[in-house]
Chains A and B, each alone.
Chain A
Amino acid sequence: MTKRHNRMMLVGLLVSGVFLAGYLGIKAFSENLLYFYTPSDIMTGKAPKDKSFRVGGLVEDGSVERDGMLVKFSVTDNLETIEVSYEGILPDLFREGQGVVASGSLINKCVRWTCINTFNATQVLAKHDENYMPPEVAAALESLEAKE
């Protein structure tokens, strides 16, 4: 009996040790595991300044401007907004109001005396949300929202 209890203790210790190590590791590396920064992170200076990184958020309604292969749009997290410019092919799901993740770097564009940060993207990925529904349901939901 004692031998079995010993083994049970050892397995228990192993499990709790591993989970403690995992918890500490995740706490320590949390920052590095972020796939993208939000526009708010950029405004508060959390995003890297001279390295390339990714920015994620929703494509602001009415912000998409196309000029041949060049696309300009704004990405927002409903608090802050950043202007993104990109040249290339966009994924199927790209549209206004859709989540996107763009990778590239910040450039400071100055016109006369006002300077704004724009994001020069080398790749734009669409982020799908967790909703799956037929078109009728989507239309019904939309008209419901419009009523409110």
Chain B
Amino acid sequence: MWKWIQRQASPKVFYQTCNRLVPWFFWPFITLLIVGLYWSLVISPADYQQGDGYRIIFIHVPSAILSMMVYAVMAIAGSIGLIWQIKMAEVVAKVSAPIGAGFTVIALATGAIWGKPMWGAWWVWDARLTSELVLLFLYLAYMSLNSAFDNPRTAAKSSSILAIVGLINLPIIHYSVKWWNTLHQGYSVGTGGIKDPNMQIALALMFVASILLYALLVSIKARTEVLIREQNSRWVEEEVRSLMS
């Protein structure tokens, strides 16, 4: 088992795995995205209070969940890199950061666009919105710390520690609507808040599509990152030459 993991975590095998996985993530993602958008925008009925305006949740909710999931993956991969010194875990953590930051920006932006007509304000400083903004700052801090070192190993070490410290923010974001009075509503998912089966299916499709998008972007970006890190090795030279020709 341990031998197998070590083999998978060697840069060359990892690169080839990413290469092979890309189409397996790409096509299901495109299919689910099209079906999911159709289900969200056409099949799902309008809401009894918000009319069609509620449909932004089909983007907002998956992005918000992904913004937290990607952070968890980043911190866990960072810890694996710290403890077992697996370089490919460092690669996964590093390339996850900008993707997670992207999901966070989408969640914040769609929330603001929805908040203006529904609440009456683009932004309020309640616990949910503030902690999600802190998450964005954590991603940005991780990215700048990671790029502040010339040596990728040192960079991975220090930024992984930052990622682990920032983990505390995840339960705060999740429970903020329960622990404190917030303007942001409570849980809709998993509490029967979404009453229409078509709305539930649309949300589930968009959620799985978002996970596939994350997996796809990680494998594409990890490929490039491995080539950069291993640029002095023979197999990279051969690979690049075959890509160029």
Residues of A in contact with B (beta carbons under 8 Å apart): 4, 7-8, 11, 14-15, 18-19, 21-22, 26, 30, 33-38, 56, 89-94, 101, 123-139
Q: Is the CB of A133 within 8 A of B118?
A: no
Q: Which residues of B contact A137 (CB under 8 A)?
A: 48, 195-196
**Which 8 pairs, one residue from A and one from B, show the smallest C-beta to C-beta distance?**
A91-B120, A134-B45, A133-B195, A138-B48, A130-B193, A22-B168, A35-B126, A130-B188
Q: Which residues of B contact A131 (CB under 8 A)?
A: 188, 193-195
Q: Is the CB of B48 within 8 A of A133?
A: yes
- Chain B nearest Cβ from A24, distance in angstroms: 11
Partner of A130, one of B124, B165, B171, B186: B186
A-B contact pairs, 8 of them (CB 8 A): A4-B84, A18-B168, A22-B172, A56-B183, A132-B195, A132-B196, A133-B195, A133-B196
Q: Is the CB of B120 within 8 A of A125?
A: yes
Q: Chain B 53-90, CB within 8 Å of chain A: the 1/0 string?
A: 01001000000000000000000000100111000000
- Bound together, the chains give a CA A89 to CA B119 distance in angstroms of 12
- Bound together, the chains give a CA A34 to CA B121 distance in angstroms of 18
* Closest chain A residue to B160, Cβ basis: A11
Q: Is the CB of A56 within 8 A of B195?
A: no
One of B6-14, B174-182, B214-222, B223-231 at the interface: B174-182
- Bound together, the chains give a CA A3 to CA B183 distance in angstroms of 48
Contacts known (A30-B180, A101-B183); A127 close to B46, Cβ less than 8 A: no
Q: Which residues of B contact A92 (CB under 8 A)?
A: 50, 117-118, 120
- Bound together, the chains give a CA A115 to CA B54 distance in angstroms of 43
Residue B185 at the A interface, CB < 8 A? yes
With an 8 Å Cβ cutoff, the count of chain B residues facing the other chain is 43
* Closest chain A residue to B47, Cβ basis: A132
Q: Is the CB of B79 within 8 A of A11?
A: yes
Q: Which residues of A contact B92 (CB under 8 A)?
A: none
Q: Which residues of B contact A124 (CB under 8 A)?
A: 120
Q: Which residues of A contact B22 (CB under 8 A)?
A: none
- Bound together, the chains give a CA A133 to CA B164 distance in angstroms of 39
Residue B33 at the A interface, CB < 8 A? no
Q: Which residues of A contact B194 (CB under 8 A)?
A: 131-133
* Closest chain B residue to A7, Cβ basis: B83
Contacts known (A92-B117, A126-B119); A11 close to B164, Cβ less than 8 A: yes
- Chain B nearest Cβ from A64, distance in angstroms: 16
Q: Is the CB of A93 within 8 A of B119?
A: yes
Residue B99 at the A interface, CB < 8 A? no
Q: Which residues of B contact A136 (CB under 8 A)?
A: 45
Q: Which residues of B contact A14 (CB under 8 A)?
A: 161, 164-165
Contacts known (A125-B124, A132-B47, A132-B196); A7 close to B188, Cβ less than 8 A: no
Q: Is the CB of B182 within 8 A of A132?
A: no
- Bound together, the chains give a CA A101 to CA B50 distance in angstroms of 18
- Chain B nearest Cβ from A51, distance in angstroms: 16
Q: Is the CB of B83 within 8 A of A4?
A: yes
Residue B209 at the A interface, CB < 8 A? no
- Bound together, the chains give a CA A57 to CA B121 distance in angstroms of 17
- Chain A nearest Cβ from B156, distance in angstroms: 13
Residue B31 at the A interface, CB < 8 A? no
Q: Is the CB of B168 within 8 A of A19?
A: yes
* Closest chain B residue to A93, Cβ basis: B118
Q: Is the CB of B161 within 8 A of A35?
A: no
- Bound together, the chains give a CA A21 to CA B164 distance in angstroms of 13
* Closest chain B residue to A127, Cβ basis: B183
- Chain A nearest Cβ from B222, distance in angstroms: 23
Q: Is the CB of A36 within 8 A of B181?
A: yes
Residue B232 at the A interface, CB < 8 A? no
Q: Is the CB of B161 within 8 A of A33?
A: no
Q: Which residues of A contact B127 (CB under 8 A)?
A: 33, 35
